[in-house]
């Protein structure tokens, strides 16, 4: 029996994505966000998470997906990777499932326009459900952000 | 009983007691008469002994026991403090400290302290003087020969006083034959004399009198502000005093005494030891002159000592938890306020209002819990400087200011070591030897300033000394030799960059730089430590004038006063410490010079900086405003004005970092959480003025 991993499932632009549960601190409803000047557009700003100020990233913006209005089902997923703690704005987050580690295939070249390096792989659940597993340390790669900033200037 | 449960408590308390011992011993050194300090020291030592014995650290306990024996004699007036005793006690303290360090490191706290114990025991037996300590007893015999010899300085003071119409008396005090505590009685007489005037000279010297090294009488020259009769009454009111023979002196009688002294002079100068004794006597008189302040101060340390014990220790993680819970409470409070304003029921509104008041008081307390005055770090330096100055044979005054400046506990814990390095450096490389100082036309005593203060979002700690300054040429040469920079690079360096070279790791090996008049040992460690705390170090140095190290530390988790301002829908906080004033200007007051907007501020033109432009705030357009609110800020000697939309008001804010993901954001130094739970960014005024 292959290793099972627990995954938080969230929706973004009609796709389903997954993050390992141990990297997720909490899932929050949308809350007021304070804009931080001179940062890339996908950094929405900072929030007050019970006394801790945390940056919030719009995952759509990060993946160059079309922007969307926030809705009732929008959520902020707080993740912690390599002592970085950030929030991701996602369209919805509503499921925790167990998946077989073996069922994760390496990512195809193009998935919904997202660069392959952000992806750890694609998990196939059941017959028709595809779950895109994120490579969080790449998503939060800071050197890339610095490059982005320089391009904007 | 498992002692390991109590170990951390033992360590904490031992450290406290050792610190208190150190401080009080230093205090005592500057006021050796003050028995109340000895009492405090004795109590600390006693507690430490008890604790160590209970915990099974026998060596600690027995050393403390020996120290206690000495202190016991001192507090019962059976022994007078002198340099030897001070040195021995300080050595004992050092040994205790290293034992406790050993225990912290998991050791058993064992150490060989036989020499110190032997010295302490010798002190108790009273035969330590022969061991080569102070030679005052032999010296005193020399000066005793001429009972009333005045040196030139003293007689000129007396003469001047007589000329100025002051009363100068020659007083011979005799104690009763059956007097039990001669020294104590003499002390009381001196105390009275000092209160009623100024003692110019006593024979034998004050030191000897303190040590009961006089027979039945002693002689004093005093300039008194009271009459002869009052003087006699005052002296004779001290019990066990037989009487006082008082002679009022005029020019003539004084000169007669002076002539007697001149005859005695060759005898005195023949013996270098006696000359030394004169110096000693003069010194002790200076100490005696300072003594009137001591009795008043005596009650203060005792009171302070009482306060110190009224604290409890709390794990810092619990404080963090408390902070976070409290922030949540704040958010709920705001929610409740909103609800009560919607529901409009009187008793609900009242309850919520009361809760608001209570919780804002609570907020203040909770937020201040983590803040600790830098005092706790600074306290250990006077002792260190004393010892260092002795080892290096230099004279140094340490002046500490701003010890009450508060810093976050975590920073406090880390800042000690870098400061030790900087202070050592200042003493070792900065302050010149006494001879060099005199040659350079400076006072022989060097001064080291240790300052702490808040400025903007930072705490500054400065170590400044008036020594020889950095020899930049030599620093450059060494840097090139050590491969820190190339010769080409060195040519292009600015003064400041050369100064900073001494922080380079290549400078840290002592044997390579021992011949350099610059600095070096361990400074790279200082720099990396400070950087790890998110701060930075800078140096200012003038050759021949001295050097200043300045450490700038962020207030990672501290509380500052700030002005909250609005830019459209956004709120920002500007630290109050950078603000000079706030005001309103009209559109026509703004002038354009070379395309830069300036305003006239108290006679000088200062730049006008648009905060909304700097921060890209789109919800506020100041071009449409006829009148603009401005905040005048200062960075060093530069001034500038920031335009804002609206003032909200002054508030105490908690500084929060933006986290590791968002670093180095231009013009923003951090964030804070406002009463309504929203995050407001803190503007860094230092970044606005270029």
pLDDT of residue B338: 75
Q: Is the peptide bond before B204 cis (omega within 30 degrees of 0)?
A: yes
DSSP code per residue over B138-160: HHHHHHHTSTT---HHHHHHHHH
- Cα B14 off chain centre by: 22
For the record, the structure tokens of B567 come out as 């830019």
**Residues of chain B contacting residue A46, judged by C-beta atoms under 8 Å apart:** 658-659, 662, 671, 679, 681
Closest CA to B173 of B191, B146, B155, B161: B191
- Within 64-93 of A, beta carbons closer than 8 Å to B belong to 83-86
Alpha-carbon gap, residue B275 to B287, rounded angstroms? 19
CB contact under 8 A, A39 and B678: no
Q: Which of A47, A50, A84 sits opposite B679 (nearest CB)?
A: A47
pLDDT of residue B284: 46
CB contact under 8 A, B681 and A140: no
- Residue B669 C-beta-side C-alpha neighbours within 13 Å: 25
Average pLDDT, chain B: 76
Strand stretches in B352-409, DSSP E: 371-373, 395-401, 406-408
Alpha-carbon gap, residue B162 to B394, rounded angstroms? 39
Interval B222-275: pLDDT, tens = 887 777 888 888 887 777 777 787 877 777 777 666 554 444 444 433 344 444
Interval B474-507: pLDDT, tens = 888 877 877 777 888 878 888 888 888 888 766 6
CB contact under 8 A, A32 and B678: yes
> What is the pTM assigned to this prediction?
0.48
Alpha-carbon gap, residue B494 to B516, rounded angstroms? 20
Alpha-carbon gap, residue B386 to B529, rounded angstroms? 25
Alpha-carbon gap, residue A11 to A90, rounded angstroms? 6
Positions of B annotated as catalytic residues are 46, 68, 425
Residue B535 clears pLDDT 60, i.e. is over it: yes
pLDDT of residue B165: 73
Between the alpha carbon of residue B48 and those of residues B109, B315, B511, B687, the distances in Å are 14, 23, 40, 50
Residue B296 clears pLDDT 70, i.e. is over it: no
Strand stretches in B502-595, DSSP E: 536-542, 546-554, 559-567, 570-575, 579-586, 591-593
Q: Can you tell me the mean pLDDT for A7-28? A: 87
pLDDT of residue A56: 92
Burial class of residue A72 in the structure, from the number of CB atoms within 10 Å of its CB (0-12 exposed, 13-18 middle, 19+ buried) = exposed
pLDDT of residue B507: 65
Residue B22 clears pLDDT 60, i.e. is over it: yes
Choose from B659, B663, B680, B682 for mutation: most chain A CBs within 10 A.
B659
For the record, the structure tokens of A93 come out as 């987050």
**Residues of chain B contacting residue A85, judged by C-beta atoms under 8 Å apart:** 659-661
Question: Which segment of A5-9, B169-173, B448-452, B650-654 scores lowest on mean pLDDT?
Answer: B650-654
pLDDT of residue B271: 42
The residue of chain A with its CA nearest to that of B672 is A53
Residue B60 clears pLDDT 50, i.e. is over it: yes
CB contact under 8 A, A46 and B668: no
- Running DSSP on this structure, what letter comes out for residue A6? E
Residue B629: count other Cβ atoms within 10 Å of its Cβ. 18
The residue of chain A with its CA nearest to that of B328 is A50
CB contact under 8 A, A38 and B667: yes
Closest CA to B161 of B99, B250, B73: B250
- Please report the ipTM that was assigned to this predicted complex: 0.84
- Cα B151 off chain centre by: 37
The residue of chain B with its CA nearest to that of A142 is B661
Alpha-carbon gap, residue B534 to B670, rounded angstroms? 12
Interval B419-437: pLDDT, tens = 888 888 888 888 888 888 8
The pLDDT confidence band at residue B451, using thresholds 50, 70 and 90, is very high
Q: Can you tell me the mean pLDDT for B576-602? A: 86
In angstroms, the first-to-last Cα distance of chain B is: 64
A32–chain B Cβ distance below 8 A for any pair = yes
**Residues of chain A contacting residue B681, judged by C-beta atoms under 8 Å apart:** 34, 36-37, 46
């Amino acid at each position: 029996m292959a290793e099972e991993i627990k995954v938080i499932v969230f929706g973004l632009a009609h796709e389903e994505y997954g993050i390992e549960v141990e990297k997720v601190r909490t899932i929050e409803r949308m809350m007021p966000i304070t804009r931080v000047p001179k940062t890339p557009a996908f950094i929405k700003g900072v929030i007050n998470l019970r006394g801790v100020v945390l940056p919030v990233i719009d995952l759509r913006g990060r993946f160059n997906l079309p922007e969307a209005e926030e809705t009732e089902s929008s959520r902020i997923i707080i993740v912690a990777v390599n002592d970085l703690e950030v929030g991701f704005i996602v369209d919805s987050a509503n499921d925790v499932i167990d998946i077989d580690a073996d069922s994760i295939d390496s990512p195809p070249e193009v998935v919904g326009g997202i660069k392959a390096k952000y992806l750890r792989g694609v998990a196939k659940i059941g017959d028709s459900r595809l779950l895109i597993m994120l490579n969080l340390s790449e998503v939060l790669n800071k050197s890339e952000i610095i490059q982005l900033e320089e391009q904007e200037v | 009983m498992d002692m390991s449960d109590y170990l951390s408590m033992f360590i904490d308390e031992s450290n406290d007691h050792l610190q208190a011992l150190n401080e009080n011993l230093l205090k005592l050194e500057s006021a050796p008469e003050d028995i109340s300090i000895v009492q405090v020291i004795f109590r600390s030592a006693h507690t430490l002994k008890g604790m160590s014995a209970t915990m099974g650290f026998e060596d600690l306990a027995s050393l403390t026991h020996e120290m206690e024996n000495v202190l016991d004699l001192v507090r019962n007036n059976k022994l007078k403090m002198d340099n030897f005793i001070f040195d021995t006690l300080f050595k004992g303290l050092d040994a205790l400290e290293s034992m406790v360090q050993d225990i912290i490191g998991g050791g058993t706290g064992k150490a060989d302290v036989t020499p110190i114990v032997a010295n302490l025991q010798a002190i108790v037996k009273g035969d330590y003087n022969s061991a080569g300590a102070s030679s005052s007893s032999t010296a005193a015999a020399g000066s005793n020969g001429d009972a009333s010899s005045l040196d030139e300085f003293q007689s000129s003071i007396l003469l001047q006083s007589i000329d100025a119409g002051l009363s100068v008396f020659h007083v011979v005090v005799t104690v009763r034959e059956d007097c039990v505590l001669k020294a104590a009685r003499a002390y009381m007489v001196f105390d009275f004399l000092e209160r009623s005037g100024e003692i110019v000279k006593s024979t034998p010297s004050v030191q000897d009198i303190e040590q009961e090294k006089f027979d039945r009488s002693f002689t004093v020259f005093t300039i008194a502000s009271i009459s002869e009769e009052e003087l006699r009454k005052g002296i004779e009111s001290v019990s066990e005093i037989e009487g006082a023979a008082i002679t009022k002196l005029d020019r003539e009688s004084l000169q007669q005494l002076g002539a007697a002294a001149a005859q005695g002079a060759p005898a005195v100068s023949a013996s270098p030891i006696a000359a030394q004794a004169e110096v000693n006597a003069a010194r002790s008189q200076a100490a005696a002159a300072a003594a009137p302040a001591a009795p008043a101060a005596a009650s203060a340390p005792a009171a302070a000592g009482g306060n110190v014990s009224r604290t409890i220790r709390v794990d810092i993680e619990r404080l963090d938890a408390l902070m976070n819970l409290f922030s949540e409470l704040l958010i709920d409070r705001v929610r409740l306020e909103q609800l009560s304003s919607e529901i409009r029921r009187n008793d609900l509104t009242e309850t919520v209002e009361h809760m608001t008041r209570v919780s804002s008081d609570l907020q203040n307390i909770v937020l201040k819990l983590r803040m600790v005055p830098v005092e706790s770090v600074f306290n250990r330096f006077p002792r260190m400087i004393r010892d260092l100055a002795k080892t290096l044979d230099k004279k140094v005054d340490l002046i500490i200011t701003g010890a009450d400046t508060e810093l976050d506990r975590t920073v406090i814990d880390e800042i000690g070591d870098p400061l030790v390095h900087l202070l050592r450096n200042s003493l070792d490389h900065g302050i010149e030897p006494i001879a060099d100082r005199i040659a350079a036309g400076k006072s022989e005593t060097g001064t080291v300033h240790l300052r702490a203060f808040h400025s903007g979002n930072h705490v500054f700690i400065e170590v400044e000394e008036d020594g020889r300054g950095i020899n930049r040429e030599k620093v450059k040469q060494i840097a090139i030799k050590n491969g820190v920079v190339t010769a080409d690079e060195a040519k292009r360096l600015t003064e400041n960059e050369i100064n900073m070279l001494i922080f380079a790791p290549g400078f840290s090996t002592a044997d390579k730089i021992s011949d350099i008049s610059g600095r070096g040992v361990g400074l790279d460690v200082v720099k990396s430590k400070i950087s790890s705390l998110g701060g930075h170090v800078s140096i200012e140095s003038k050759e021949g004038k001295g050097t200043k190290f300045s450490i700038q530390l962020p207030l990672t988790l501290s509380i500052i006063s700030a002005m909250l301002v609005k830019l459209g829908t956004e709120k920002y906080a500007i630290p109050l410490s950078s603000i000079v004033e706030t005001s309103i200007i009209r559109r026509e007051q703004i002038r354009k010079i070379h395309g830069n907007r300036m305003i006239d501020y108290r006679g000088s033109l200062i730049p006008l900086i648009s905060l909304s432009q700097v921060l890209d705030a789109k919800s506020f357009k100041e071009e449409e405003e006829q009148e603009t609110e401005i905040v005048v800020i200062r960075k060093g000697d530069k001034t500038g004005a920031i335009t804002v939309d609206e003032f909200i008001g002054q508030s105490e804010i908690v500084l929060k970092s933006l986290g590791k993901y968002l670093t180095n954001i231009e013009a923003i130094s951090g964030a804070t959480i406002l009463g309504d739970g929203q995050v407001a960014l803190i503007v860094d005024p230092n970044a606005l003025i270029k």
